[in-house]
Amino acid sequence: MKFFIDTADLAEIRDLAATGLVDGVTTNPSLVAKTGRNFLEVVREICDVVPGPVSAEVAATDVKTMLLEGRKLAKIAPNVTVKVPLTPDGLKACKALSEEGTMVNVTLCFSSAQAILAAKAGATFISPFVGRLDDIGSAGMELISDIVSIYSNYPEFRTEVLVASIRSPMHVVEAARMGADVSTLPPAVLRQMFAHPLTDKGLATFVADWAKTGQSIMDSPMPGKAKEKAAKVKPAKGKGRKATE
């Protein structure tokens, strides 16, 4: 499963990219608004930090302007994925941009019917929003299971299921069980995934017990080194023993 992070905050992106676990980034207009920065500059900087797909969403809602915006965003860097909403105009833009070789992420997906349309429009990613469905009392993860199963019936669908609106590590675990291709995680959720109280407790015990040994791995000589060194020392000329001795 690929991990994208769902933020436009460069400090968070740099910090989490350093773990080596981040395969891409998703942004949306609300996340960009939080930064207070110029959108195109933010996208450029994110693309410099993360070589994988970086979703940048169009602002327009009509196909003509979406295409103009999408083409401009795609020129920022080769890893820009243009994000379009799941509307008739959004899917027209998706089809045209995909045919031009641009990666497209179709966002705001809340039903399997919509996911089928996005796949037919050539989307690179479909983004079903699980948390927002949970919020209205619908089972968000059931939608993921349904889309994964439908797409698997049609090998010609190349669209990857990108689980969005994730609220907890359990969403990620369930998505992985279902075989979703990508999870886009808020930074806090990725950090929560590392955490387990037994890991903390176990590590504290190991650290304390190691201190009792009084040893240091770095200060200890490599085992066998002394012998190797002695074997490599050649006797001085004329002073060596004869083989027969």
Amino acid (one-letter) located at 146: D
**Residue whose CB is less far from ligand E4P, 108 or 119:** 108
**Residue whose CB is less far from ligand E4P, 90 or 224:** 90
The minimum distance between CB 25 and ligand E4P, in angstroms, equals 9
**Residue whose CB is less far from ligand E4P, 97 or 236:** 97
Nearest to 166 by CA among 197, 143, 195: 143
The minimum distance between CB 187 and ligand E4P, in angstroms, equals 12
Q: Active site includes 83?
A: yes
Vertex 51: Cα angle to 45 and 52 (nearest 5) = 115
Residues that bind ligand E4P (CB under 6 A): 6, 26, 28, 107, 127, 129, 131-132, 164-165, 184
Q: How far is CA 24 from CA 18, 47, 162, 213, 240, in A?
A: 13, 9, 11, 43, 65
The minimum distance between CB 165 and ligand E4P, in angstroms, equals 3
Q: How far is CA 86 from CA 103, 110, 118, 221, in A?
A: 15, 9, 7, 63
Residue of 2, 34, 72, 83 marked catalytic: 83
Strand ranges in 61-181 using DSSP code E only, listed in sequence order: 80-85, 103-109, 125-128, 160-163
**Residue whose CB is less far from ligand E4P, 31 or 232:** 31
The minimum distance between CB 57 and ligand E4P, in angstroms, equals 8
| 3-state secondary structure (DSSP) of residue 244 | coil
List active site positions. 83
